[in-house]
Amino acid sequence: MHYEQATGGIRVRVQPRFSLSDSDPEDGVYVFSYEIEMENQGDTTAQLLFRHWKIHDSTGDDTEVDGEGVIGMKPVLQPGESHTYQSFCVLRSPVGYMEGYYTFVRPDGERFRAEVPRFELNGPIIMPNAIQTDEPSDDVQEMN
């Protein structure tokens, strides 16, 4: 599933994924990767300056992250151009969401926000203390 929103002439498309190979549910570590494409649908050049994220997980833990650019870059997008990057976040639960915005600047110095739509982070719900056994439990009836 992907999420998409356009504001200020910038279309932001997000595709999140749960990364089982990087996660450790027994220790409460759930890793989600996401790919973001930002496309300049306007008629003037725009350069990415800053990002702002709100990261929420179902434990009630909210984190806000501010920083310059994305993964060390401040791409300049000509009209019709796009930039795609991948990143990740770590939650303490299998369910959460991210949302935020990018701050861009136009050649005349005008700054504006491009909203990142809220996107759901849904991993598998794993019972960390589940013990598998070949013997039926007391609450399971055997069929003969």
pLDDT score at 143: 38
d(CA 76, CA 113): 15
pTM: 0.83
| pLDDT tens digits for range 63-102 | 999 999 999 999 999 999 999 999 999 999 999 999 999 9
State residue 41's pLDDT score: 98
Instruction: Quote the tokens at residue 113.
Output: 């926000």
In order of their start, the domains of the chain are: 3-120 (2.60.40.1470)
Stretches where the chain sits below pLDDT 50 are: 131-144
92: nearest Cα among 117, 121, 120, 57 = 57
Query: What integer pLDDT is reported at residue 61 of this predicted model?
Result: 87
